[in-house]
Structure 1
Amino acid sequence: MKVSIVDVAKKSGLSIVTVSRVLNNLPSVRKSNRERVLQAMKELDYHPNASARSLARGKTGIIGLALTTLHDSFLDAVVKEVNDRLAENGYFLALSISTEEDDHIHRSLFQEGRVDGVILLSPIREDEYVLELKRNRIPFVMLDNQQMNSPATSVIVDNFYGGYEATKHLIDLGHRDIAHISGPELFLSSRERERGYYAALEEAGITPFCVERGDFEISTGYRIARSWMDAGRLPTAVFASDDNMALGAMNAFIIEGIRIPQQISIIGFDDQILATEFHPKLTTMRQPAAQIGRMGVELLLKSISGAAKRNVTVQLSPELVIRETTSLRQ
């Protein structure tokens, strides 16, 4: 027997009107009542007719998410959280994956009437996208945006704090010769993590060992570590701006018989899946992927419903996860 909205109302103990408001994502529903309705829908395996709801609301029921790659377990985790939270609210997620060179794929997503809203994940050409979305009057939010003090509603990570905490962890272990493998200068996250590195060293009265520019690839970390060994001048600790470069450096050192962390301590950033797959397991700064995705959806749905009165920026903090690649200086 087909489950109806009446069955959901009975199961939740609420009125049909309240259930309807939840299904249409209206803001005038208490959080506790919304959760009761969603739980009842889940238990009854109730799936509202998306086409009918979209027609009634004059909406598509689709949210677009634009990003440049899925070869990244951190971004994967953000996308999964976004998808799950949107599904809870009756929306489908449409992914647009393209590089800066073929961003016409993103632009087709930004056309009026195709989606009810857009989430931009780590956008590079932020200014142009924002202008186009505003011109087409499409609600949107940015996650991990690459501009300081963005005028758009955003969810960002405190990368300065992350760089500072990573470097301070190494300092607290007694290290003084601390190198940094930075990410591409194009990314605000790279620049902020590097700024945190310098701030922690300056606070401790320590001179930077060296800073090398990388590109978030394992091969980069390997090449940079290899160049240090070829020059015969090694740091006692390395802070890499992402886990891939940290793992590449680890690989180069291990091949040459340099013990980690006994001879060199290494810390990464992101807490990618590979961080716990390699041995020794990588100490890293964990990005709050689930929080980023959840908060992004919450802000976007408020914008779509008209409940958001102004643009806001939510800043989240990364977390130091100590594993096996950092130890007291020998």
Structure 2
Amino acid sequence: MRKNWIIALTILIICLISIPAFGNAASPYERPDSNVVLFDDDTGIVLREEWVKFTIDENNWNSRVDVIYDIENEDRDDHHLDIMFIAPYFDYDTGEVYVDRFEAVVDGNEITEFEIKEEDDIPVNWNARYTMEIMDPVDDRMLERRLSDGGPASKGGKVEGIQFSIDIEKGQRKTLEISYKAEEGYYSFDDVVNDVYTHLYYLTPAEFWNGDPVVNLEIEFPNGGYEVHSSIDLDQVSDTIYSARLEGLPDEEWTFSYVDTTGLFYGTNRRSIHNVITWGIITATVLAGIYVRKRKKWKGNLVLLLILPELFLFRPGYGILYLVYFLFAPVTALVLFIILVMMALRQYNKRKRDRRL
């Protein structure tokens, strides 16, 4: 009887444990004869160096992007400069930029007046250059479908411009800092175990500045459990930081994808392979339990109970997963309750018979 209670307690413990960006800036002007907005490729403003840093948050959402431009007015007589920052779909209310979503600072002075330019107002002499191939960094494979949601790929490549003005005297050098919260795209289909997130940053508008700038790229993750795939080669400088330093602007935009590897016990993000390995482990447990049970029945039963937590290594489709979490757990708890009641009744009847004797 004691062994039965040990088994029942083990089941209860197992059940309790088992249930569980985009953007770049240039100077726009409007052509008088057609009212077509163009980027000015002869501003007289030199871009010396650019820094772009993505800081990924713990939930993989609302990642922060910090951009720094080191600019100098070499030969522009007019000190007033209009700047348009090319950005993705920001999901702002029409005509308003939220302070907590976008910030611009020049030499420590915050810019407070912005104007949102819709896609039709983006300069016609600039076109984004990128191939939005979603790569799974864990298995180094191209994913077959489009993004599930978020990002320009799921919105038909929609971009916006945020326009503002700064003053920079001839011969003056200034630091322009831009910060915003980026909207990630993510891939969440049944062929992956963990979702794949992706970002796009528009580097090519900076071609309209004068000069050939140095470009610094950096991604910082919340911990060391991430894999990343980038269209531009990055060096891993620490457990959480990847970076690159480029002598000159690339010909295309910067895209990168990343995966949180938590729960990828087998080193793969392919759901099919993950599940095959899990079934193999479950099969081995069943065989081991049957073998041990022939020698010691209760020990064999304990080995077979390992199947319960192993089932939660299995990664079914989202519909089945919903049923597992919301139906399987209550059913298991009900079955356990019935077993415990039956065992208690059995013990009660046994004691009752013993008293009669």
Q: TM-score, normalization: structure 2?
A: 0.28
More helix by share: 1
Higher relative contact order (CA 8 A, sep 6+): 2
More strand by share: 2
Larger Rg: 2
